[in-house]
Structure 1
Amino acid sequence: MEPKIPAPPAGMAGLPFVPVMFDGLAVTFYVNGQGRMAYSFKATGLHAAPEQGAKPGRGGAKDAV
């Protein structure tokens, strides 16, 4: 089964990048072929970050620790 690659949301005016929030984010650390520590990221979802000054509703930061 091919992994689903989501399209990022539209950019915000005045920012050089697109702020996003991830659901189910996992980081895996490993040692690569050159003996250096490396890592990979996997997420179950991707969505637009709230606008600056917006307060998330109930459950808005559900993955925050």
Structure 2
Amino acid sequence: MEKLILISFICLLLPSTNAFSQLGPGLPNDPDDPPSPNVPIDGGVGLLVGAGIGLGIKKVREAKKGSEKL
């Protein structure tokens, strides 16, 4: 029962984070301010997440192989 509650909570919590992470249009910039650089962050973050998932899968497989030998 506790697993069901935890899974339900996670399934409801994760989609709501996208709604809060999107900003509104904001205030207009002062004409005297220099333009801010547009730097894409998504590519690097996606690669890091993918590398972390791959490393986690590798560690789980190594742990299973180690426990089978014992």
Please classify the TM superposition score into its range, dividing by the shorter chain length: under 0.3
Higher RCO structure, 1 or 2 (CA under 8 Å, sep 6+): 1
The structure carrying a bigger helix percent of its residues is 2
Q: TM-score, normalised by structure 2?
A: 0.18
TM-score by length of 1: 0.19
Query: Which structure has more strand as a fraction of its residues?
Result: 1
Compare CA radii of gyration and give the structure with the larger one. 2
